[in-house]
């Protein structure tokens, strides 16, 4: 039954593409996927139908893209894929557009005034997280960096929290935003994660709230790990909210 439904879906897509005459790719199953037209928006390299034995790593290698690109373009939260599943194989420039189908971009909200009154309680887990984060002050910014000598914004989160959460992976700011516990902005505490929309729509930048209305983050503009006020003219207007990985 399932095989029949996927076959009908493939037929419908193919007929619609032919009627439109716009060069939209017709997905195939069992054989080599048809390459997508470069003129479509958003652009796809191909539409791949998952077959038994396929893995995201193998599919990414086949099309010369990254696993992360495939996951973002298809709204995947894990590496689990199933035979018969459709995967859009994106060009690098179309990933963000495709990802928006699955994650509507949150909009900026006002920074809670209580943030400027909260301080780290001595001996608390939040205070320990803040202390650990401050160890990296001045470390230079490098996109994709996770070492003690080179970090980006999500790399800093990984360095600080991985010793407390051993299963934590090296994720993007978008992933941390989706996987962490939602916290009402007015209840934020030192050690909580704060998110901003900067380069791309949605939570494209993050840091750790340290109290007194400030957060620590790896900033490409500053060139490294630094401390910034939440009412900064740039970040204050791009604040998206608070998430919690550990109870502070």
Catalytic residues: 153, 205, 217
d(CA 45, CA 35): 6
Q: Scanning the structure block, which residue is given the tokens 């900033």? A: 219
d(CA 99, CA 90): 10
Question: Which of 237, 66, 226 is closest to 156 using CA atoms?
Answer: 226
CB atoms within 10 A of CB 73: 24
Phi then psi for residue 101, to 5 deg, are: -65, -25
């Amino acid at each position: 039954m399932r095989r029949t439904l996927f076959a009908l879906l493939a037929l419908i897509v193919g007929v619609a593409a032919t009627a439109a005459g716009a060069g939209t790719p017709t997905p195939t199953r069992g054989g080599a996927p048809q390459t997508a037209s470069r003129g479509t928006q958003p652009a796809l390299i191909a539409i791949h139908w998952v077959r038994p034995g396929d893995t995201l790593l193998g599919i990414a290698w086949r099309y010369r893209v990254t696993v992360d690109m495939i996951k973002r373009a298809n709204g995947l939260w894990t590496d689990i894929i199933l035979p018969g599943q459709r995967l859009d194989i994106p060009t690098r420039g179309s990933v963000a557009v495709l990802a928006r189908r699955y994650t509507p971009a949150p909009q900026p909200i006002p920074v809670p005034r209580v943030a400027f009154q909260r301080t780290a309680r001595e001996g608390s887990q939040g205070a320990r997280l803040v202390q650990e984060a401050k160890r990296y002050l001045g470390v230079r910014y490098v996109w994709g960096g996770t070492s003690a000598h080179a970090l980006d914004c999500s790399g800093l989160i990984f360095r600080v929290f991985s010793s407390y959460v051993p299963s934590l992976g090296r994720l993007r700011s978008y992933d941390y935003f989706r996987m962490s516990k939602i916290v009402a902005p007015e209840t934020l505490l030192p050690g909580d994660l704060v998110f901003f929309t900067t380069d791309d729509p949605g939570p494209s930048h993050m840091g750790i709230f340290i109290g007194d209305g400030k957060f620590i983050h790896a900033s490409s503009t500053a060139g490294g790990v630094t401390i910034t006020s939440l009412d900064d003219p740039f970040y204050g207007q791009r604040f998206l909210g608070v998430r919690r990985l550990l109870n502070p």
